Amino acid sequence: MRNILIINGPNLNMLGMREPDIYGTQTLSDIEEMCKDAAGSLGFEIDLRQSNHEGEIIDWLQQSKDAFDGLIINAAAYTHTSIAIHDALKLLDYPIIELHISDPKKRESFRHVSYIEPLARDVISGHGAKGYEMALKKLSEILN
Ligand code: DQA
């Protein structure tokens, strides 16, 4: 059994009611259920977390070092601003998948920069909530 950490950044606790035309109507709990289903068939155990606080995300990343086999991270707006999360990701030696529900590169120019991308094995964006399942499958390909 491999352990996969799924980190969600600020405002993703509001999925379902937050700009549904962009992010869809599924809540983070719906996404967690979907991930658990997908994880079961891939032989993964998942730990899905959400935080609105940059420092808490950095603590989780530091603590994950020897406890997980892979990471899916939707750092939300911190993707475009956080050199601190970039630095924390550099500590990790397991595969990292950057995930976005929307496609930030097709939105406002301030979303075009990603501090996660240089450290990610793959980027999945613009596939809606289904992207989480795609990211798990990608990790399974990388780890097997
Ligand atoms: C997001 C895209 C980011 O630009 C935005 O700040 C988010 C969500 C996405 O999943 O599409 O909060 O990461």
Would you say the pTM of this structure is higher than 0.95? yes
Nearest to 59 by CA among 99, 11, 12, 91: 91
Convert the pLDDT of each residue in 5-28 to its tens digit: 999 999 999 999 999 999 999 999
3 state DSSP class of 39: helix
Q: How many CB atoms lie within 10 A of CB 65?
A: 12
Among 15, 31, 98, 101, residue to substitute to test ligand 1 (most atoms within 8 Å of Cβ)? 101
CATH of the domain at 74: 3.40.50.9100
Cα of 131 vs centre of ligand 1, distance in Å, is 13
* 115 is annotated as an active-site residue: no
Convert the pLDDT of each residue in 101-137 to its tens digit: 999 999 999 999 999 999 999 999 999 999 999 999 9
With b for 16 or more beta-carbon neighbours within 10 A and e for fewer, the 16-35 pattern comes to eeeeeeebbebbbeebbebb
How many domains is the chain built from? 1
Share of the chain above pLDDT 70, in %: 100
Q: Mean of the pLDDT values across residues 57-64?
A: 98
Nearest to 94 by CA among 116, 113, 66: 66
Cα of 83 vs centre of ligand 1, distance in Å, is 17
Share of the chain above pLDDT 90, in %: 99
Cα of 27 vs centre of ligand 1, distance in Å, is 14
Domain that holds residue 133: 2-143
Q: Any residues with Cβ below 6 Å from ligand 1, and which?
A: 11, 74, 76-77, 79, 100-102, 104, 111
Q: What is the pLDDT of residue 140?
A: 98
